[in-house]
Amino acid sequence: MLRELSRRIKPVFYLERAMGNRFNEKDTPEISVIIPVFNSGGTIEACLESIFASDYERYEVIVIDNGSRDGTAELAGNFPCTVLVLDSNRGAAYARNYGAARARGDVLVFLDSDVVVGKNTLALLRAGLSGKEAVAIGGIYSPLPKGRGLVTMYKNFYCHYVAVKTAVPANYFSTSCGGVYKTVFSRLGGFRDKFTKAGGEDIDFGYRLVARGYKTIRDKGIQVVHQKAYSFAGLIKNDCLRAREWIKILLEEKLLRRGKFFKNEADVSNAAIVSVLIAWAVVFSAMLISVNILYFPASIFFLCCFAIANKGFLGFVYSQQGMLFALSAGMLYFLCLLAGSIGGIVGLVEYAVLKRT
């Protein structure tokens, strides 16, 4: 199925460098590292440099360029990897499938182009699958990103906190740093390439893995540095679009009805749901202050409830960066919850309309 998928796209050009410096030509790689890129000139070199500094030896790297206009393919071509350039941007899911169809390794490792891996990352991903029931494994973001701006630091701290809190077998797959057996990936038909914006294919793939009875692992000991620098607008847009896709995936898979809502992450998700309700209570009570000043205490009360509901995350960032950052992170989380809830509502409406038509 993956081979058929790869034939649907005719690359503009195909560039391949010899891999003789990694393993004997008669051997095949155990791991195929697959990296989709689009205008990733600012991050791809650091990403590839970290991979080729790896202690693990038997691997190949496949970079799939989604029609970049900033010379990303040429930069990747300076490294001993396979570079495939597509004729247009068809989304990361499509590019990952295309790379997987050309992969020779038994294990597919998917990385985002804006991560930096450690010397032992590939070895840890491979070892995490060896002799175990799990067929897929994922790493997490380190708490301190390369970019040290407030918004970027908040996003990475939050992702790190959630991952550490739920670092038991999870029911989703990470494409930022994740590995899966190629046979299983092929059996499930790869990623659904209908996801062309803001991701979603990783969440969908993870739910399909669990639905088929497979086990996945998220290892908090495997950490990668996230190079992406977030702007405030980009952060809000990302959370809104992710929630929009996420709710549609849940409804399509009927996971809400089956009671599998974030199976091993119910504590985090339930806290988020409560926090969303409290956040909107803050907003509405604040709006009513102009009508009656007596609503001011109500706003303060709901803000205190919000802080209590998220004391774990706020306490974590306070221990890492101090009070000022904790207050700023709390405000950003508050706004992201509002954006995410709006995205979820949009997703519900879109799903209902599509269902009716």
In the chain, what are the domain boundaries? 2-230, 266-356
Q: Quick check: 12 pLDDT over 50?
A: no
pLDDT at residue 13 in the model: 45
Q: Quick check: 92 pLDDT over 80?
A: yes
E-strand ranges in the chain read 13-16, 31-37, 59-65, 82-85, 107-111, 115-116, 136-141, 177-181, 216-226
- Among the ranges given (140-154, 183-197, 254-268), the one the predictor scored with the smallest mean pLDDT: 254-268
Of residues 15 and 220, more confidently modeled: 220
- CB 171, CB 202: distance < 8 Å: no
Tell me how far the alpha carbon of residue 199 is from its chain's centroid: 7
Q: Quick check: 3 pLDDT over 50?
A: no
Of residues 64 and 90, more confidently modeled: 64
Q: Which residue has the tokens 């969908």?
A: 204
pLDDT at residue 198 in the model: 59
pLDDT digits (tens, 9 = 90+) for 144-186: 777 678 999 999 999 889 888 764 545 768 899 999 999 999 9
What dotted CATH number matches 2-230? 3.90.550.10
pLDDT at residue 15 in the model: 47
Tell me how far the alpha carbon of residue 119 is from its chain's centroid: 21
pLDDT digits (tens, 9 = 90+) for 57-84: 899 999 999 989 999 999 999 999 999 9
Of residues 197 and 180, more confidently modeled: 180
- Among the ranges given (86-90, 309-313, 323-327, 330-334), the one the predictor scored with the smallest mean pLDDT: 86-90
Of residues 247 and 50, more confidently modeled: 50
Region of 262 on the Ramachandran plot (φ > 0 left; ψ -120 to 50 alpha; else beta): left
Residue 156, CA distances (Å) to 11, 21, 105, 180, 308 in order = 34, 35, 31, 24, 22
Q: Count how many residues are written for the chain.
A: 357
pLDDT digits (tens, 9 = 90+) for 269-299: 677 889 999 999 999 999 998 888 888 999 9
pLDDT digits (tens, 9 = 90+) for 100-128: 999 999 999 999 999 999 999 999 999 99
pLDDT at residue 170 in the model: 57
